[in-house]
Chains A and B, each alone.
Chain A
Amino acid sequence: MTTVHPGCSPRERGPEADPDVRRTDEIIDALARRRPVGEDADAVVRLLRALAADVDQRLSSVSITPST
């Protein structure tokens, strides 16, 4: 848990505390966990979600046999 000193301004807490930066982190976390993001109007979020889905895809010929 991040402790935020009530007397500190966002500038003093650093760029990481910027609400926009934190919102982006939430979006990225949701994309990484393959969970709904709630930003369907955001074209870049949609594209990144498509990329994640594309690399996750499971086709046929899944093999767990040892290679030699």
Chain B
Amino acid sequence: MTTCAIVAGIMPNVTEGCVADAKTGVRLATRSDESDLRDLTRLAVQGDRSAIESLLARLRPMVVRYCRARLGRVSGHYHIADDVAQEVCIAVLAALPRYRDMGRPFASFVFGIASHKVADALRSSVRSAVPTQDLPDGPDQGPGPEETVVRYIEAEHARALLSRLPENQRELIILRVVSGLSAEETGNVLGMSPGAVRVAQHRALARLRAMADVESIA
């Protein structure tokens, strides 16, 4: 089966709000999860269609969160970030036949691709038209307007603070907090030991607190 056929056949659209397990929270990977993921990856590399679907279902929410955190909203929407997440998933699928397990978790391979795609998007000055959402079929079950606005303002404030961190610390906090990777997985993505990740995230949080304190005084 060609990559195009795989992509066309199983690639779901990552549209605004498509974070499948957002309601149930994020589960950090355990050692057995990593083992499952490795088996799944091995089967997916061999072209097993159901393994590819399962692999994508596991990875896509993390990729969407990562892209949203890095790229933020444009005109109040996550369309650009979600499009980039879609591109990441397609690139992962396209690269799958060439993937070789070198002992590092598959997530590090995926977030390596995601990091490059996000950097490309940030460099690009072209912003496509922002499509409007479909009209809802029923009452909106989400948070009310006031809560939405408060959350939006706080999220933007978090992004502004994160943007002032050194790149490595910013990436680390986004992978740990937003994408929900474990210290081990984050270390594999960033080329650090889990212990170094824990120390660096402590320093990053201290730095963020110092910046927030200065803002509150000013």
Contact = CB atoms under 8 A, between A and B. Distances in A.
| A is bound by B | yes
Interface of A: 14-16, 18, 20-22, 24-25, 27-29, 31-35, 42-44, 46-48, 50-68
Given A50-B158, A53-B151, A55-B19, 9 more contacts: A22-B198, A28-B201, A33-B180, A47-B157, A54-B152, A56-B22, A59-B16, A61-B134, A62-B17
B73 to A, nearest CB: 9
B8 interface: yes
* Most chain B beta-carbon neighbours within 10 Å: one of A15, A32, A65: A32
B17 A14 contact: no
10 contacts: A25-B183, A31-B177, A33-B25, A50-B154, A51-B154, A57-B17, A57-B19, A57-B142, A61-B17, A67-B11
Looking at chain A's contact residues, the main secondary structure is helix
Given A33-B27, A43-B216, A60-B133, A51 B177 contact: yes
Interface string B127-166: 0000001101100101000000011101101110110000
A64 B57 CA distance: 11
B201 A56 contact: no
A56 B16 CA distance: 10
Nearest to A14: B195
B68 A55 contact: yes
Interface of B: 7-13, 15-19, 22-23, 25-28, 64-65, 68-69, 78, 86, 133-134, 136-137, 140, 142, 150-152, 154-155, 157-159, 161-162, 173, 176-178, 180-181, 183, 195, 198-199, 201-202, 205, 208-209, 212, 216
